[in-house]
């Protein structure tokens, strides 16, 4: 009886340590661990590993106009839509604020672009219903980078995807930019 309660408590603590409480997605700590593990595996087996960084466009405006509970509802719904766009072996994570990530195993640049475009389309496809407000139009910008094409290390992969994300935002938001399209040299490559 006590062992069952201890097991339940340990599982609850593990869940708290590894998951974002708002969205249920894996958290930043897990992102760092998973990216390191999957990068090592990709290098060992010669497979590509794609990283897609996503940022909700004009999220502060949603919070300012509709309140933080509406912003929370948008984050939960966007997270749900992103999870629906990836395979079970891939990971969707919340890095913090309105920034999310997709870690796509055995996925090359073309495949990562397709997943990122599908994810952006899924977010844009239907307004997000929020209690007391009409559906909110939500879009995301995405930056894509692939190991080993765009970077040689996990840290460089994050930098390359982040630069691509900023390029997507600078180009008008609601779009996907791949690291190789930014015109910047691949970091750490």
Residues identified as active-site:
98
Quote the Cα angle for 41-47-49, to 5°.
75
Phi then psi for 133, rounded to 5 degrees?
A: -135, 155
Q: What is the DSSP string of 134-189?
A: EEEP--EEEEEEEETTT-SSHHHHHHHHHHHHHHHHHTTSSSEEEGGGS-SPPTT-
Pairing between strand 176-178 and 140-147? parallel
- Rounded Cα–Cα distance for residues 64 and 101 (Å): 24
């Amino acid at each position: 009886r006590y062992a069952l309660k201890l097991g339940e408590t340990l599982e609850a603590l593990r869940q708290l340590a590894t998951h974002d409480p708002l969205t249920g997605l894996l958290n930043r700590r897990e992102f760092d661990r998973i990216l390191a593990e999957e990068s090592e595996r990709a290098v060992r087996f010669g497979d590509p590993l794609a990283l897609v960084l996503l940022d909700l466009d004009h999220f502060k405006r949603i919070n300012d106009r509709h309140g933080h509970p509406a912003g929370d509802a948008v984050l939960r719904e966007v997270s749900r839509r992103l999870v629906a766009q990836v395979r079970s072996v891939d990971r969707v994570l919340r890095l913090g604020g309105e920034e999310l990530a997709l870690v796509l195993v055995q996925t090359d640049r073309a495949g990562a672009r397709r997943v990122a475009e599908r994810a952006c389309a899924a977010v844009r496809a239907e307004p997000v219903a929020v209690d007391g407000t009409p559906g909110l139009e939500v879009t995301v910008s995405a930056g894509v980078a692939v190991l080993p094409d765009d970077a040689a290390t996990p840290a460089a992969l994050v930098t390359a995807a982040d630069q691509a994300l900023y390029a997507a935002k600078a180009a008008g938001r609601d779009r996907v930019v791949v690291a190789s399209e930014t015109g910047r040299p691949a970091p750490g490559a």
